[in-house]
Amino acid sequence: MAVLKLLRAPSKYLQGKGALLHFYEETKELGSSFLFICSNSGYKNCSEKLTESFKGSNCEFYFEVFKGISSTGEIERMRKIVQDRKIQVVVGVGGGSAIDTAKATAYYEKLPVVIIPTVVATDAPCTGLSVIYKDDSTFDSYLFYPKNPEAVIVDSEIIAHAPVKFLIAGMGDALGTYFEARACVRTDSPSLENGGIALSAMALCELCYKTLLKNGYQAKLACENHLVTPALEAIIEANTYLSGVGADNGGLATAHSVYNGFTALSECEEVMHGSVVAFGTITQLLLEDAPKEEIKEVMDFCHSVGLPVTLKELSVTDVSRVKIAAEKACIPGETIHNMAGDVTPDQLYDALLAADLLGQDYFK
């Protein structure tokens, strides 16, 4: 039987300056007792606005500051709070770990989940999955949920005040979206949600790339200076919705496998997900023998916003170590196998070094 086309997305997406002041109004149909699972900075930056949004309501709400990573232990602790306090809605406030803990807690307790990202660095807010890491923080697997979050609410003012490195990394993650989906379409590979790729999904991915090219540089300047501008709003939407829903329904290919491969290199521990995805995107284009103009356009973009185009910028100085990453990127089940003609570790290694050489040329 042919694979059915599938589109999944959060039921509601809200974005804008002061969006959190509307939290209660926009989520009250979900229940009357809320648990906010917050990162440290999430609590500091959001709790006041959220509390204000509940003014005049009879709802109960609790803030719980989340510690460390989204481990089984931390998820168990949150589940106990949910049961003891008879929570009806789980809310994740923060970056990737707080979001993943909230998604997992809600899933196991069969409750709706709302996501409030305080940085726009990855696809985590809008997708219907969590990324699971091993204890040594290398990539383990994806954990799939039956649905995407009930609502995602992004306050642009909070994003404008977050360190710009998160916005830049988010643009790197978003950069892969169109090219990875295009690779999946070429081979009839399924999306991340294991469905056929719909035209509408592809349209989101294309718009994601166009928005990055049009607004990336200006958005970076705005964020550096804590200004909320139309360009920043456009990039927040590209990083969060277009990239998240696009990847979920459009599929992944080489760029994300390169990231998973690089988690095996200890020297890259501090390098952000989106930075590696950006370099992985250039690598993918080389593997595809993409037109020179297209490769140049992508590299120009990376350079303009401060995304890496060389291995050195990813903290890799010993290129022989790239072999380890290439092996891990090509293990069975990796999305790199969605590429036309498939890719071997050897081919990927050569493409990674070729991408690095092109990048070095860029600085000459």
Residues marked as binding for NAD(+)?
96-100, 127, 129, 133
Closest CA to 157 of 273, 49, 39, 38: 49
Other Cβ atoms less than 10 A from the Cβ of 193: the count is: 20
Taking CA atoms, 214 is separated from 112, 205, 241, in Å, by 35, 14, 17
**Considering only 17-25, 101-109, 117-125, 343-351, which stretch makes contact with Zn ion by CB under 5 A?**
117-125
- C-beta closer to Zn ion: residue 105 or 260: 260
Distance CA 192, CA 139 (A): 16
Closest contact distance (angstroms) between CB of 149 and Zn ion is 17
Distance CA 226, CA 121 (A): 16
- C-beta closer to Zn ion: residue 173 or 313: 173
Binding residue (CB under 5 A) for Zn ion from 150, 173, 193, 356: 173
Closest CA to 27 of 116, 122, 117: 116
**How would you classify the pairing of strands 129-133 and 139-144?**
antiparallel
**Considering only 12-20, 173-181, 193-201, 222-230, which stretch makes contact with Zn ion by CB under 5 A?**
173-181
Closest contact distance (angstroms) between CB of 252 and Zn ion is 8
**Considering only 66-74, 146-154, 172-180, 344-352, which stretch makes contact with Zn ion by CB under 5 A?**
172-180
Taking CA atoms, 344 is separated from 36, 44, 77, 256, 339, in Å, by 44, 47, 42, 15, 11
Distance CA 61, CA 49 (A): 13
Closest contact distance (angstroms) between CB of 226 and Zn ion is 26
Closest contact distance (angstroms) between CB of 235 and Zn ion is 16
CA atoms within 13 A on the CB side of 102: 39
Closest contact distance (angstroms) between CB of 200 and Zn ion is 20
- C-beta closer to Zn ion: residue 258 or 330: 258
Going residue by residue from 121 to 140, which x/- string records binding to Zn ion, judged by CB under 5 A?
--x-----------------
- C-beta closer to Zn ion: residue 195 or 274: 274
- C-beta closer to Zn ion: residue 42 or 176: 176
Distance CA 155, CA 151 (A): 13
Binding-site positions? 96-100, 123, 127, 129, 133, 173, 256, 273
Closest contact distance (angstroms) between CB of 256 and Zn ion is 6
- C-beta closer to Zn ion: residue 50 or 298: 298
**Considering only 40-48, 80-88, 118-126, 312-320, which stretch makes contact with Zn ion by CB under 5 A?**
118-126
Count of residues interacting with Zn ion (CB under 5 A): 2
Closest contact distance (angstroms) between CB of 120 and Zn ion is 12
**Considering only 70-78, 98-106, 119-127, 228-236, which stretch makes contact with Zn ion by CB under 5 A?**
119-127
Binding-site positions for glycerol? 123, 173, 256, 273
Residues of this chain, 234-273, that bind Zn ion according to CB under 5 A: none
Closest contact distance (angstroms) between CB of 146 and Zn ion is 21
- C-beta closer to Zn ion: residue 27 or 338: 338
Name residue 40's amino acid. N
- C-beta closer to Zn ion: residue 100 or 123: 123
Closest-approach residue to Zn ion (CB): 173
Residues contributing to the site for Zn ion (CB under 5 A): 123, 173
